[in-house]
Amino acid sequence: MYPDDRVLVAYVPTLADFSIIEDKGWYRIPQRSVPKGLFAEYFAFYFGRPFGEQKWAIHYYAERLGHELVSRKSLFPKEVDHPKADELYYKIQLGALQLLKRPIVSLRWRRVTFLHTTWDRFENAVEVNDLFLDSEEFVDRKYVALKDRDVHISKKYGIKK
């Protein structure tokens, strides 16, 4: 894990969805709503209301191993009559699920679908707002994003006397 590794925090709406992550090792995102940052090195999971005591917090993360574009009916072969059976989804293959030593909590309810951050912020976060911190001790996300897109820039650093 490197400080500039990208982490995509993704919402898990139901216990059944988390069971898929736990038991089958994948997460799905509808093609029509795929966020930028699909190529993050890690995915972390933000739990909603159905998770009771664990709600509104991030408890787990996993390495992204790859992805493929598939129809919903190939993800759920027993649900071929589902209204969205023919829609396309990104199936994100995940490594082993890792439990955080301490959850990253939201101090107030917030609607999170996808949230982008870097590994250094993720590793140091105590609460969800910490994932957005801008500080010289953390990786410059804008610089890393431009570098990832092969935009060659140089950073300027101020010198204090």
> Model-level pTM?
0.81
Q: Name the CATH code of domain 6-148 (choices 2.30.130, 3.30.70, 1.10.8, 1.10.3470).
A: 2.30.130
Pick from 23, 15, 65: which is nearest to 43 by CA? 65
Q: How high does pLDDT run on average in the chain?
A: 86
Residues 60-116 have pLDDT tens digits of 999 999 999 999 999 999 999 999 999 999 999 999 999 999 999 998 767 778 988
Model pLDDT, residue 69: 96
Which burial class, exposed, middle or buried, applies to 76 when counting CB atoms under 10 A from its CB (0-12, 13-18, 19+)? middle
pLDDT at 141 over 80: no
Cα separations in angstroms, 106 against 12, 26, 122, 134, 137: 15, 24, 13, 18, 22
pLDDT at 143 over 70: no
pLDDT at 133 over 70: no
In which band, very low, low, confident or very high, does the pLDDT at 20 lie, cut at 50, 70 and 90? very high
Pick from 54, 32, 42: which is nearest to 10 by CA? 42
Residues 44-70 have pLDDT tens digits of 999 999 999 999 999 999 999 999 999
Task: Give the helix ranges, DSSP H, for 7-159.
Answer: 15-24, 72-75, 119-124, 141-148
Yes or no: say if 10 and 46 are a contact pair by the CB < 8 Å rule.
yes
